[in-house]
Amino acid sequence: MRMIPLFLAASFTAILTWPIAALADGPIRPTREGVIRVCWGLDILAGKNCHKYHHIKLPPSIAIGDTFRVEYGSNPKGFQFRVRRIAVESGVCSIYSGQTSHLRDRIKVGCDAAP
């Protein structure tokens, strides 16, 4: 019985100190080509379908609110990607087209803060 409070205290400490991705507070500069995850189908019964595409060319500077054309695939497809959120963790930026990270398209790319 004494172990339960100790276990809970250790669990809460681990959760509170877990590294969390910070949101970018300014523009970022991609350092290489990105990888995009494109998802469609948000039907609860059918689920969603996502695919990853590599070698996505990005503009030299990206900020929240920007819109740029993304082209991907061997038979090029494309669409306008509107940046709604940028999360930065250990030199890798996740650029989201939606406010929630698990429901929308995402681009992952190495990045630095833009000058």
Find the DSSP H helices in 1-115.
3-17
Please state, as a whole number, how many other Cβ atoms lie within 10 Å of the Cβ of residue 30.
21
What the block records as the tokens of 60 is: 């030299």
Q: What pLDDT digit, counting tens, does each position of 53-100 carry?
A: 999 999 999 999 999 999 988 888 888 999 998 999 888 999 998 755
Q: What pLDDT digit, counting tens, does each position of 7-23 carry?
A: 545 544 444 334 445 66
Q: Which of 85, 68, 73 is nearest to 38 (CA)?
A: 73
Q: Which of 93, 91, 85 is nearest to 58 (CA)?
A: 93
